[in-house]
Amino acid sequence: MGRLRERGPRRPRSRRHHLSSLATPLQPDQQPGRWDGHVAVYELVFEPLTNTLAREAIEALQVGPGMRLLDVGAGAGGAALMAAGLGATVTAVDASPSMARRIEERATSEGVPVAARPMDGAALKFPNGSFDAALSVFGIILFPDPAGALREIGRVLVPGGRVAIVTWTEPHRYELVGRLLAAISTAGTPSPPPAVPPAQLRFREAAEFRALFDRAGFEVERITRSEKALRAPSARWLADRLEFAPGIGDMLAGQGERLPAVRRRFVEDLERDQGMGEIALGAIAFIGLAAAGSATR
Ligand SMILES: C[S@@+](CC[C@H](N)C(=O)[O-])C[C@H]1O[C@@H](n2cnc3c(N)ncnc32)[C@H](O)[C@@H]1O
C-alpha cells in the first residue's frame, strides 16, 4: 500500500475506478437476459446440434427411470426433455426467464416430468445431495466462474454422483463461424479479433477442461471428443436464421447496411460447396464425465 502511495501522480484516481477498469465485461452469451430474445430461433436452428451432444452425455450418465437429474443452463430444454423421456425426474435451471418458460411449455405439451426453474446456475437453490446426476451442455462453460458453478453442482449431487459437461473444442473446425467470417471478410466489414476470446472456448484444450473438474473437486472418468454437424434444410434457410444466440446476433448487427451482402455471400459459398438442398456444418465438442469427490462439499 505504502509503495503504491509513493507513486503519486501515476496512481489511478480511485481504487474503485482502478478495479472496474480491470474487470472483464460479460460477453453477450454470458448474459442470461440477452438469451430471452433468442428462444425460438435457438430451439429451431441450434438445439438440434446441441441435442446430438446431449444425447451422448445422457448415455454416458446412464440416465434412466427414477434418476433425479439436474440440467444447468438448460436453454430451451432439449436435453431435459430427452432425459425425462427416458424416465428420469428432471429439474432444468436457466437464468433466462423466457428459456425457463419454454421448457415448462414443452414439458407440459410432451407430458414429461421436467420442473423448469428460472435461476442462476451459479447459486443453486437446492439442498445438498438433491440429485443423483447432473449435466450442463454449453451451460456452465459460459458462466463467469465455471469452477464455482461446477462446485455448486457438486454440492447438490449425492456423494459420488456424476456430472457430464459439454464444451467446444477445435474452434478452427467450427464451420459455421469459419464460413461467416469468410463472408464478412469478402462482403462485409471485418473487425479485429476480440481482445478476450469467447468465453465458450476457455476449455477447448483437454488439459484446461480437465483442470476445471479438478478445481471443482470432481474426479474425471473420461473426456470424449465428438464430431457433429449443424444441419439445415438449405443454405438460404440458415442464412435467414443466423441470429440464434446473442453473440452471433451482435456480430451480424455490427455489419449494418452490409449485412444483406454478407448473408448473400454466405449462401453463395455454401451452395457452391454443398448444393441447394440440405447442408451440414461441422462442429467438435468434448464431453467430460466426472464423479463428485468428497472435496465437492
Ligand atoms: C448455449 S445455451 C445452451 C442451452 C442448452 N443447454 C443447449 O445445449 O441447447 C446457454 C444457456 O445458458 C444460460 N445461462 C447463461 N448464464 C446462466 C447462468 N448464470 N445461470 C443459468 N443459466 C445461464 C443461457 O440463458 C442459455 O439458455
Tell me: the pLDDT tens digits for 70-120?
999 999 999 999 999 999 999 999 999 999 999 999 999 999 999 999 999
Q: What is the C-alpha to C-alpha distance for residues 219 and 231, in angstroms, rounded to an integer?
A: 34
Max CA pair span of the chain: 69
Q: How confident is the model at residue 294 (pLDDT cuts 50, 70, 90)?
A: low
Q: What is the C-alpha to C-alpha distance for residues 263 and 235, in angstroms, rounded to an integer?
A: 10
Q: Which atom of ligand 1 is nearest to the CA of 46?
A: 9
Torsion sign over Cα 287, 74, 123, 62: negative
C-alpha cell at 153: 453442482
> Which pLDDT tens digit goes with each residue over 150-172?
999 999 999 999 999 999 999 99
C-alpha cell at 146: 465455471
Tell me the domain boundaries of the chain: 13-171+196-229+283-296
In testing the pocket of ligand 1, which one of 138, 156, 230 has its CB within 8 Å of the most ligand atoms?
138
Q: What whole-number percentage of the chain has pLDDT above 70?
A: 91
Q: Measure Cα distances from 104 to 9, 60, 63, 123, 191 in Å.
A: 57, 25, 20, 21, 39
Q: Which atom of ligand 1 is nearest to the CA of 35?
A: 25
Give me the pLDDT at residue 192, please. 83
Between the CA of 71 and the centroid of ligand 1 the distance, in Å, is 10
Q: Report the CATH architecture of 13-171+196-229+283-296.
A: 3-Layer(aba) Sandwich (3.40)
Q: Buried b vs exposed e over 10-47: b needs ≥16 C-beta within 10 Å? A: eeeeeeeeeeeeeeeeebbbbbbebbeebbebbbebbb
Give me the pLDDT at residue 195, please. 82
Indicate whether 179 pLDDT > 80.
yes
HSE-up of residue 257 (Cα within 13 Å, Cβ side): 0
Indicate whether 9 pLDDT > 80.
no
Residues sharing a CB contact under 8 Å with residue 273, sequence separation 6 or more, in sequence order: none
In testing the pocket of ligand 1, which one of 91, 94, 124, 137 has its CB within 8 Å of the most ligand atoms?
94
- The residue contributing the CA closest to ligand 1 atom 4 is 75
Q: What is the C-alpha to C-alpha distance for residues 167 and 139, in angstroms, rounded to an integer?
A: 8
| pLDDT top residue among 194 and 83 | 83
Look up the pTM and report it: 0.91
